[in-house]
Amino acid sequence: MRFVKRRIMSPGPVEIPPETLAVAAQPGPHHRTKEFRTALKDALASLRFVTGTRHPMVPLAASGTGGMEACVTSLFSPGEEVLVTVCGNFSQRWAEIAEAYGLVVHRLEVEWGKPVDLKELAAKLRRHDHYAGVFTVLSETSTGIENDIQGIGKLVGPTPSLLVVDGISGIGALPFKMDEWEVDAVVVGSQKGLMVPPGVAAVGLSPKARERLGQAKNPVFYLSLARAFKAVEADELPDTPWTPPVSLLLQLRASLAALEAEGLEAVWARHARLGGATRAAVRALGLKLLATKGFSNVVTAVDCEGGPDAGKVVKALRDDWGISIIGGQGKLKGKIFRIGHVGHVDDLDVIACIGALEMVLKKLGWPVTPGAGVAAAEAAILAARG
Ligand SMILES: Cc1ncc(COP(=O)(O)O)c(C=O)c1O
């Protein structure tokens, strides 16, 4: 068997640190033991730390979408009116889930590639002040933007609405302060900034959101947040209502301990540096960024209108250089490619990716000055490292 050197530059699932992968190779304890529940306690404490909350969080055996669905079903009832800020494929998913469960969905449509405009949101909230919930996303992975959750929290916090945030690709990589920013419900996913394979979601709720648990009239069983919180809080050591993904939760504890050891501010600064370097390189190569402001430091979306064929770039990077980036989703399918710089990535991963991108562009006949992207990325990295 041939071993292939791979580099994962996708915005999730991300590369897993070898130390975390090694945890999965150990026989884990049974989940009803003190040993496992102590490990779960540590993992949940670290999760609260990266999410910026003093309040309990619960793990779910689900991908991120399962955590989103759990928020909709456990906190809302059919017929309730909610507002969804739709700025890409994932924020649109909130609307789809809410509609599937009979909520009346109002949309604040935002041009894909732009963040939510706070003035427009404020106007929408002034016109209609009884939304049961406002749903948004921290890092819209499909377009490469970051929303101003702090600003959104200032607008929604004083209203009776719950502010529900998809933090799936952002948390662990971008600043997020759930309590300080008045976020009522947040969803986290394992396979992005938290550097764990896919399969675990986690949800945090504010006291305001906790009051809704048990009142919501949607059908829910496996993903019941009421059951999950009860199990986490029933005893001194947390528990789960069903068999948890033991191995993934042990890996979560390992990766989160590594993030804590690096320091949260340092982790955010690393992502900011990698995002900045990638954007500088893309511009230096004469390519166009999809976003013009509110750039997410999780992923960079490159607009291929009038540029290289997005699908060919993705394929050639993978086939010729072993580098996984991804194309567009939804209405951006075929129109963009996206370079992830989230999780277990460093400066040299970005340099390698940009170097390979230059060679791919040249092969595809796109006019590039060899080294221009790498030089711009290096300059940005050196400036940020000081
Ligand atoms: C912002 C965001 N929300 C939701 C999801 C969906 O998560 P999952 O695919 O784990 O269900 C993703 C996954 O890419 C995401 O990036």
What pLDDT is recorded for position 258? 97
pLDDT in tens, 108-159: 999 999 999 999 999 999 998 789 999 999 999 999 999 999 999 999 999 9
What pLDDT is recorded for position 160? 94
Ligand 1 centre to CA of 69 (Å) is: 12
Report which ligand 1 atom has the smallest distance to the Cα of 139: 1
What pLDDT is recorded for position 101? 98
Residue 189 Cβ inside 6 Å of ligand 1? The answer reads yes
Residue 169 Cβ inside 6 Å of ligand 1? The answer reads yes
Ligand 1 centre to CA of 197 (Å) is: 13
Report which ligand 1 atom has the smallest distance to the Cα of 167: 1
Whether the per-residue pLDDT at 320 is higher than 90: the answer is yes
Give the class (CATH, top level) of 264-385: alpha beta
Residue 146 Cβ inside 6 Å of ligand 1? The answer reads no
Ligand 1 centre to CA of 296 (Å) is: 15
pLDDT in tens, 195-205: 999 999 999 99
Q: Is the peptide bond before 13 cis (omega within 30 degrees of 0)?
A: yes
pLDDT in tens, 21-57: 999 999 889 999 999 999 999 999 999 999 999 999 9
Check if 18-261 and 264-385 are the same fold: no
CATH architecture of 18-261: 3-Layer(aba) Sandwich (3.40)
User: Per-domain residue ranges for the chain?
Assistant: 18-261, 264-385
Burial 357-371 (b: 16+ CB within 10 A, else e): bbebbeeeebebeee
Q: Which residues contact 225 (CB under 8 A, 6 or more apart)?
A: 58, 70, 71, 74, 75, 203, 205, 213
**Token pair in block for residue 265:** 């501010």
pLDDT in tens, 261-295: 999 999 999 999 999 999 999 999 999 999 999 99
What pLDDT is recorded for position 297? 98
* Mean pLDDT, residues 235-257: 98
pLDDT in tens, 56-97: 999 999 999 999 999 999 999 999 999 999 999 999 999 999
**CA terminus-to-terminus distance, the chain:** 43
Whether the per-residue pLDDT at 325 is higher than 80: the answer is yes
Q: Which residues contact 309 (CB under 8 A, 6 or more apart)?
A: 364
Ligand 1 centre to CA of 186 (Å) is: 13
Q: Give residue 4's pLDDT band: very low, low, confident or very high (50, 70, 90).
A: confident
